[in-house]
Amino acid sequence: MGKNIVQKLIDSHRVEGVQKSEFEDSEVLIKIDQTLTQDTTGTMTYLQFEALGIDKVRTELSVSYVDHNTLQVGFENADDHNFLQDIASRYGMVFSRPGNGICHQVHLERFGVPGKSLLGSDSHTPTAGALGMLAVGAGG
């Protein structure tokens, strides 16, 4: 039996590991082409990124979206947004300001590429699978 699109995408991005059989799960390491984060999970993500001591992102494209915590009642959200903008600039990411749209939809429309892999910190990241991407939501 032939492979489906997900299996083909995993195979094309595989760095390490093999699928043992059609009916047996196994761990594989894949190359990630794109990432997306949003402001509720991005701040913690990038604090960890800084702690790793990496000088820039290693993906083809990484986008930091501000689309969840846009209400400015106190200083906390504004501080997080400033931090996310600084991090994006420092590490070579695209920064998407508040008002640009919801991360998973904007990413699908503006940055989605069939055949690429996407790892996102938004639960709706897999919507990019509609374009033929290997799109995985993680975090939370």
Q: Among 87, 84, 75, which Cα is nearest to 103's?
A: 84
Question: Domain-by-domain residue ranges, the chain?
Answer: 5-19+26-137
The model carries a pTM of 0.89
Q: Among 72, 67, 99, which Cα is nearest to 84's?
A: 67
Q: Please, what's the largest Cα pairwise distance for the chain?
A: 58
List, for residues 31-76, the tens digit of each pLDDT value.
Answer: 999 999 998 888 888 999 899 998 999 999 999 999 887 777 778 8
**CATH 3.30.499.10 applies to domain 5-19+26-137:** yes
First to last CA, the chain: 36
Half-sphere exposure (CA, 13 Å, Cβ side) for 50?
12
List, for residues 7-26, the tens digit of each pLDDT value.
Answer: 899 999 999 988 766 667 78
Q: Average pLDDT over the chain, rounded to whole? A: 90
